[in-house]
């Protein structure tokens, strides 16, 4: 028994020494191009929105083929699909205790719609569409929520200017963030 303990101790000692003797094996330093390729975030004010342009009609068609299997069309009311993520309606519940949270009733920034669906949707194939197609889907979602007109085009200039119904519905929990922790001036 005593001998076994010694063997275990020696084995541990040797293996730690082997581990510390190895050089750290870092990879190739990331270039700015590598970092840019992985940087997908669009900021609420529209910074980093990509090139491209979309419209409501094209968005409606894309929605039918890529999204409707899980999400309702505005005039459908399938409770199962609503449980997944209700995308339309709910305006009349704003300001009540039970807000029906949708893009139209809840989301404060139009740019987040683009950012979210490009990053996460369709659920089974995120980022699989082009930037223009994601602009079209954003246009369609905003239009069916009564926020933009049928013939409005959506691109990096027009999207940040769209005013969301609930844009003033959020308060900053940390209004006094020290300068050094702010991501932007």
Site of interaction with ligand HEC (CB under 6 A): 66-67, 69-71, 84-85, 87, 101-103, 116-117, 121-124, 137
- Tell the smallest beta-carbon distance from residue 47 to ligand HEC (Å): 21
Q: How many C-beta atoms surround the C-beta of residue 63 within 10 A?
A: 20
Closest distance between ligand HEC and the C-beta of residue 50, in Å?
A: 16
**Other CB atoms closer than 10 Å to residue 94's CB: what's the count?**
15
Nearest approach, Cβ of 52 to ligand HEC (angstroms)? 15
**Smaller CB distance to ligand HEC: residue 66 or 184?**
66
CB atoms within 10 A of CB 116: 15
Q: Which two tokens stand for residue 116?
A: 């979210």
Q: Pick between residue 46 and residue 133 the one whose CB is nearest to ligand HEC.
A: 133
For ligand HEC, the closer CB: 34 or 150:
150
**Secondary structure of residue 54 in the 3-state scheme:** strand
* Interstrand relation of 53-55 and 153-155 (parallel, antiparallel or unpaired): antiparallel
């Amino acid at each position: 028994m005593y001998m076994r303990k010694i063997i275990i101790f020696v084995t541990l000692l040797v293996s730690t020494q082997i581990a510390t003797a190895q050089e750290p094996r870092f990879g190739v330093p990331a270039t700015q191009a590598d970092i840019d390729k992985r940087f997908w975030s669009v900021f609420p004010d529209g910074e980093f929105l990509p090139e491209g342009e979309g419209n409501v009609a094209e968005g409606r068609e894309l929605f039918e083929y890529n999204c409707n299997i899980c999400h309702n069309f505005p005039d459908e009311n399938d409770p199962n699909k609503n449980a997944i993520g209700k995308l339309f309606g709910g305006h009349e519940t704003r300001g009540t205790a039970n807000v029906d949270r949708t893009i139209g009733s809840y989301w404060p920034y139009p740019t987040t719609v683009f950012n979210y669906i490009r990053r996460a949707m369709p659920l089974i194939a995120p980022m699989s569409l082009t930037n223009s197609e994601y602009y079209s889907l954003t246009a369609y979602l905003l239009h069916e929520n009564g926020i933009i007109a049928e013939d409005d085009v959506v691109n990096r200039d027009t999207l940040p200017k769209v005013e969301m119904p609930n844009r003033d519905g959020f308060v900053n929990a940390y209004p006094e963030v020290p300068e050094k922790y702010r991501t932007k001036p």
